[in-house]
Chains A and B, each alone.
Chain A
Amino acid sequence: MLNIVELKRKATEIRMSVIDMVYEAGTGHTGSSLSNTDILTALFYGVMKVDPTNPTWEDRDRYIQSKGHAVESYWAVLADMGFFPKEELKTFSKFNSRLIGHPNNKVPGVEMNTGALGHGLSISVGMALAAKLDKKPYRVFTLMGDGELAEGSVWEAAMSAAHYQLDNLVGIIDRNRLQITGSTDDVMSNEPLDKKWQSFGWEVVEVDGNDVAELVRVFKEAPIATGKPTMILANTIKGKGISLAENVASWHHHVPTKEEYDLAMTELSKQLEVLA
């Protein structure tokens, strides 16, 4: 496992890959991928039991990215870990590539095809339930967006996870408070989120979702209570790491211009230098 500084460096490198992929492809969910980069870095490099040389290992921890659109950081992490060659990142969103704009389980390391919002938590309930039935030690991690929480199916799944006492299930909300149209408060307010999940029978932990050290700590701590699923409200900044993208709704799927690309890469390089 990487130490904290190494994790931070890794997250910055993943951000550089994200920018490269989006710039090269001319499409992508830039702000969303930068938002969840620290969460993915903490999970994949610091917490989850997965094996790139044996992606279908039966006892692996499962990761379901319900907010499938924020896929660039996911592809970058999987490639960096060796699930597939890094070279392949250049094919992102290109004709006939398997690295499409949403998670695709033709790619080693990806469990399910996601992208239609509100599906991931139900799938995860099924996977966690299977582990309980067969007494398997694995955990299931599910990443959702805060805009996604307007989908009613999320709450069907929430109810069933508590009903079946799935303490092997960890939900994460990438709570950047922005969605494609604007702020989540304006589009469809979801507060109070902590109380909502608590009332559905979940243990709730709030954390700085861009702090890899904190994320690793809470991911390792889960389950907080025996017999209850854990929801981690990860407060994040959409577009994190690149000043001109941070907290700007239009960067949801903005493709950087050449000038913006250069600025972003310079900024990220400086962040790497500091972490050396």
Chain B
Amino acid sequence: MNNVAFEKNTGNKIANRTVVSDTLLELASENKDILVLTSDSRGSASMVPFADALPEQLIEVGIAEQNLVGISAGLAAYGKKPFVASPACFLSMRSIEQIKVDIAYSKTNVKLIGISGGVSYGALGMSHHSVQDLAVTRAIPDLHVMMPADRHETKKMIEALVDYETPVYMRIGRNPVEDSYLNADYDFQIGKAVIMHEGDDLTIIATGETVRVALDTAYALKADGISCRVINMHTIKPLDEAAIIQAAKETGRIITIEEHSIFGGLGSAVSEVTSQFCPVPVKILGIPDEPAIAGNTKEVFQHYGLSAENVACIAKEMLGC
């Protein structure tokens, strides 16, 4: 792809949550059926401008996530297009039964936006981390699961979700992330992985903010003459199995990186495909099975080896060099 920010540092200062809010404001101004629901989370979701501009289209539910999801299901059953913006840690756990029954099982067209996801609440501790959400949501039938890499992909994803009839859980982080794309001028399709960088020696598959780590790793490996493919798996479900099988066949080794528990997330999803259709060595990198250490995202990533330096080492080990 020619619009990938392969050499890092675009100096982005815009958080994905701001992009979600701006994009929804733009779309909702033209479409009165688009509603945003918050759980005292309009500030965290950067939704204050939306609330000010379209007060009738922002529904405040208060700190009551089960009710938040139930109400959104009722609105969608009528024909509204609710986007629920609530911290991923609460949305994906407190209200998971409403997500399972009122949304997925009843097939109501609700878009769940888990904000401040992963470890982006940093020092607030495990109560505020959401690193089990992919595992839980992707096990629910008829619920699709997505995670955008950067602000450009966030915009493309929100635009795509407006006319997407299936319920979706989409997780974003709290803080600005370095761009993975140079711009939003590319073809984005739900369920279709993006090959960010071609390579033959091994493949790194990443999702969300770890796509940047994958790109940095590939860049570092390139200097050592190693050709590393980078796949951005923005849609965890439905999973682009073809891209995984192709990568397994053509490169023979896979590393997955995710801001999620090593259980049940991207690494598990990829391994479910490779183990059945094209067995190759897969190394799963993520948050280990413990309450994540306190620190900002960069520090936590560094601590658990979700850094270009460490992933490059692991890649070389897998390649025997």
Write the residues of chain A forming the contact surface with B, with a CB cutoff of 8 angstroms: 105, 111-116, 118-119, 121-131, 133-134, 152-153, 156-157, 159-160, 163
Contacts and interface: CB of A to CB of B under 8 A. Distances in A.
A125 B74 CA distance: 7
B74 A113 contact: no
Contacts of B74: 112, 122-130
B209 to A, nearest CB: 32
A113 B75 contact: no
Contacts of A116: 97, 101
B102 interface: yes
Interface in B60-88: 61-62, 64, 66-67, 69-80, 82
B80 A130 contact: yes
Contacts, number: 94
Nearest to B69: A122
Contacts of B73: 112, 122-123, 126
B142 to A, nearest CB: 11
Given A124-B74, A159-B62, 18 more contacts: A105-B106, A111-B77, A112-B73, A112-B106, A115-B101, A121-B70, A122-B74, A125-B70, A126-B72, A126-B77, A126-B78, A127-B74, A128-B74, A152-B66, A156-B62, A156-B67, A157-B71, A163-B62
B316 to A, nearest CB: 50
A195 to B, nearest CB: 22
A243 B91 CA distance: 47
Nearest to A126: B74
A170 to B, nearest CB: 14
B56 interface: yes
Contacts of B80: 130, 133
B105 interface: yes
Contacts of B70: 119, 121-123, 125-126, 153, 157
A125 B71 contact: yes
18 contacts: A105-B106, A105-B107, A112-B77, A113-B106, A119-B102, A122-B70, A122-B98, A123-B70, A123-B74, A123-B77, A125-B74, A126-B71, A126-B76, A126-B77, A130-B80, A133-B56, A156-B66, A156-B67
A160 B61 contact: yes
Contacts of A126: 70-78, 82
A131 B80 CA distance: 10
B75 A127 contact: yes
A129 B75 contact: yes
Contact of A159 (B64, B78, B82, B105): B64
Contacts of B78: 126-127, 130-131, 134
A146 B107 CA distance: 28
Residue picked from B77, B97, B108, most chain A C-beta under 10 Å: B77
B71 A122 contact: yes
B208 to A, nearest CB: 29
Given A119-B101, A122-B98, A127 B77 contact: yes
A48 B285 CA distance: 56
B66 A113 contact: no
B62 A160 contact: yes
B59 interface: yes
**Closest 6 CB pairs between A and B?**
A126-B74, A122-B70, A130-B78, A156-B67, A156-B64, A126-B71
A122 B70 CA distance: 5
B105 A160 contact: no
Contacts of A134: 78
Nearest to A128: B74
A134 B59 CA distance: 14
A129 B101 contact: no
A263 to B, nearest CB: 37
Nearest to B98: A119
A156 B39 CA distance: 12
B71 A123 contact: yes
A125 to B, nearest CB: 5
A73 B159 CA distance: 44
A153 B71 CA distance: 11
Given A111-B77, A116-B101, A133-B56, A160 B71 contact: yes
A153 B66 CA distance: 6
A114 to B, nearest CB: 8
Nearest to A120: B70
Nearest to B97: A116
A133 B58 CA distance: 11
Residue picked from B67, B102, B105, most chain A C-beta under 10 Å: B67
B37 to A, nearest CB: 9
Nearest to A152: B66
Interface in B25-74: 56, 59, 61-62, 64, 66-67, 69-74
Nearest to B101: A116
Contact of A122 (B56, B59, B62, B66): B66
A123 B82 CA distance: 13
Contacts of B107: 105
B59 A123 contact: no
A173 to B, nearest CB: 18
B105 A113 contact: yes
Contacts of A133: 56, 80
A125 B77 CA distance: 12
Residue picked from B74, B78, B97, B105, most chain A C-beta under 10 Å: B74
